[in-house]
Amino acid sequence: MTKISRRELLFSTGTAAGAALLPFSTSAAPKSTKFEFSLNMSTIMGQKLGFIKELEIASAAGYKHCEIWVPTLEAYLKSGGTLVEAKKRINDLGINIQNAIGFAQWIVDDEATRKQGVEQMKREMGMLAELGCFRTAAPPMGATKEAGLDLRRAAERYRTILDVGTSAGVTPQLEMWGHSKNLNRVADVLFVAAEAGQANAKLLLDVFHIYKGESSIDCLHLVGENSIDVFHVNDYVTTIKPTSITDGDRIYAGDGEAPIKEIIKRLKPSEKPVILSLELFNKELWAQDPLKVAKTGLDKMKSLI
């Protein structure tokens, strides 16, 4: 054994004891995921407010972020509105459009329909970039009713719209739909996103769709760091089984039995905050004052998270 002097031993043990009393270094402490809150306009779309009024309601309710719907934007433009005017109003309200919900059929097997879907994505991305919205949903639209979609081909098709998004400066987020016959489970979208082989691939997941598609929340630790920018939040009651539950059965976060806190814990830390966006389609809420609905939804998310 190497001889250690009494002085060295005292110095060594003293240093160790002193270190034990010190707080952990902040640089060594594990990062904690930060969250910010958003309103998906589906939550108040039943009131038929129109594009600009929806933005105003979200801002008045206290949201800094929102998700718009492409059909609502297009209706605004057809009625005489312009992207320049909309962008100015967005800036005046101080609200950030974090994502857009669109329904292009970019993933389908039919080649002609798929080409039209890719062109639709390209056109929509151009509009969104002008508005300052740099993300859009990419759900399996058109491939929902019949099972058997080749996931490797789906990955190739996702790669195509990722390339389109790179050119436009808008990221298509691969969205999981629990009611679909394809891409209805977390494992499916994980595979497709990984197989696409692009650094800008992102996932768009949802508390409701995890339940509807019967994915285990214990698989969520496999969703990698920086894979999710936007996450849809809602709640449900388990007396309605996954096979029977519908979009209209979604309720305020915290009012049901969804394991929302456990799901949120499994979201990996990221350099950027994860945007938690309230997405509801509840007809009872659509019959209420939209500002009250938006405010209540924000308060419930904040108290839960």
Output the six-digit token pair for 253. 């976060």
Any idea what DSSP says for residue 252?
Answer: -
Give pLDDT tens digits for 124-158.
999 999 999 999 999 999 999 999 999 999 999 99
Please indicate whether residue 266 or residue 289 has the higher confidence score (pLDDT): 289
- According to DSSP, the residues that pair with 235 across neighbouring strands are 251
Neighbours of 120 (CB within 10 A): 17
Report whether pLDDT(53) > 80. Answer: yes
Mean pLDDT of the chain, nearest integer: 91
Give pLDDT tens digits for 59-79.
999 999 999 999 999 999 999
Q: What is the reported pLDDT for 23?
A: 38
Average pLDDT of the residues in 194-207: 97
Q: What is the reported pLDDT for 268?
A: 74
> Helix, strand, or coil here: 39?
strand
What's this model's pTM, rounded to 2 decimal places? 0.88
| Contact of 187 with 149, CB cutoff 8 Å | no
Report whether pLDDT(19) > 70. Answer: no
Q: What is the reported pLDDT for 90?
A: 98
Cα distance between residue 126 and residue 169, in whole Å = 9
Q: How buried is residue 31: exposed, middle or buried, by Cβ count under 10 Å (0-12/13-18/19+)?
A: exposed
Average pLDDT of the residues in 222-243: 94
Report whether pLDDT(101) > 70. Answer: yes
Neighbours of 51 (CB within 10 A): 21
Q: What is the reported pLDDT for 269?
A: 62
Give pLDDT tens digits for 236-260.
999 999 999 999 999 999 999 999 9
| Contact of 157 with 198, CB cutoff 8 Å | no
Please indicate whether residue 245 or residue 23 has the higher confidence score (pLDDT): 245
Q: How buried is residue 305: exposed, middle or buried, by Cβ count under 10 Å (0-12/13-18/19+)?
A: middle
- Residue 31 pLDDT grade (very low, low, confident, very high; cuts 50, 70, 90): very low
Cα distance between residue 104 and residue 121, in whole Å = 6
Largest CA distance in the chain: 88
Cα distance between residue 272 and residue 254, in whole Å = 25
